Structure 1
Amino acid sequence: MTLLFRESPCARTAEATVLSSGPEGVRLDRTLFYPAGGGQPGDSGTLTWEGGTLRIADTRKAGEAAPLSGDDVLHIPEDAAAPLPAPGTPVTLEIDWERRHRHMRMHTTLHLLCAVVPGSVTGGQVGADRSRLDFDVPSGSLDKAEIEGALNALIAADHPVTERIVDDAELDRRPDLVRTLSVQPPRGGGLLRLLLIGTDEAPVDLQPCGGTHVARTGEIGPVSVVKIENKGRQNRRIVVALKE
């Protein structure tokens, strides 16, 4: 399966062909729909073909909703009883762009939060309205206003957001690139995708990530730190939201 969201994260529509369809969902030869993973929810949207339209409520990776393998992605219908396109049917894909774009803005914000807050990340979740990261903070308290100010300064600086492809050996040489304790990047495939905010000469944040992101931090817009919660002796949860 060709993952179109990798090369064109801002594309809203595309054409594809149905490979299979059934109670577990619809499988295509190519897709714009991002499957849930890395804390980012799966995309929603529609599949349209001659004589039919199917509302997609969620998108899942291989093995999470059916015993598939590789880069297979399942498009989960909103209505389990709705008519499905038959294998071989050409379909037009359209993602719910407003929802996806909010996920992109929030996901990039969480990477900026990693640049602002010291400590390893113990968990996180991207949402269209609010998102969170949990940090293992060895000592000291976190200042809500200070973090919000630093985040918005990085956003306003309009740093470029790009990707770098490296091999497994690069992570062996630079274990500091992995900030997340709860989720480790996949190893053994040979190549890994790193998300770079800033430039090679002046990086703001650089770490493995397979999610979708904005092209520049200025696209995020102002954000607020909603709250900081104590989740353990050293664990602090920071909740952020987009300002409308």
Structure 2
Amino acid sequence: PLDLRLFRSAAFTTSVTVNVMIGTLMAGTFFLLAQYLQLVLGVGPFEAGLWMLPQSAVIIVASMLAAVVVRRIRLAYIVSGGLAVTAAGLFVLAQMDATSGVIFVMAAWVIVGLGVAPSSTLSVDLIVSSAPPERAGAASAISETGGELGNALGIALIGSLGVAVYRSAMSDAEPPGADAALPGEAMLSGEAAEAARESLSGAMAAATELPARLGAELVAQAQAAFASGLQLAAAAGALAAVIGAVATAILLRHVRR
């Protein structure tokens, strides 16, 4: 059973919250970013995976450095600073659009990783170290569960926000000179038109039923709508990270390592 007594410690509770927040921001943003790379920028699955490697390398190096730097700098400052850098990366990502290059987008993603690494590493360590030795196993389990919860919340919250913006944009869109809300909608089957409004992949599939010009117009509109969803999701994530940075600096200010 979950040992709720562990949450009496402010350091423990704050660290678990940071752990969940990081999982939420990373999973939700990645959920949308992977689709953006492949369906908007036209990057293949294998190439998209390769573009993700720089962030992984940055996370590894930054995590190792965090363990060294914490000996000289107060933990609260490092965790809070990491969240601030994460917010900066998400803010940069929020400036992209359907025509942004892959280098710009991945540079923003690397900045996110640079901030996430120290915050995640030290918060997980604090979760275990702030618990009594006999409850270290329970604390570790809570840390793992918090990460998984964050992943689920990321897709449910941030992912859903991005999808909601896409659907709203596609429902409200009315290109100049078109009587229907979507380019060539009158030429689409009911199922295809609905699929185009539901998801970017559905719009791209529906475009194959249209003449080349109208199909290209539908795809461009859908890609712009999806990019808008990613923009808002990244901006919301940046705001959450800023709030987390301020709260962490206050709540962990007395923790020393």
Normalised by the length of structure 1, the TM-score is 0.24
Select the structure that is richer in strand.
1
Q: Which has the higher contact order (CA 8 A, sep 6+)?
A: 2
Q: Larger radius of gyration, structure 1 or 2? A: 2
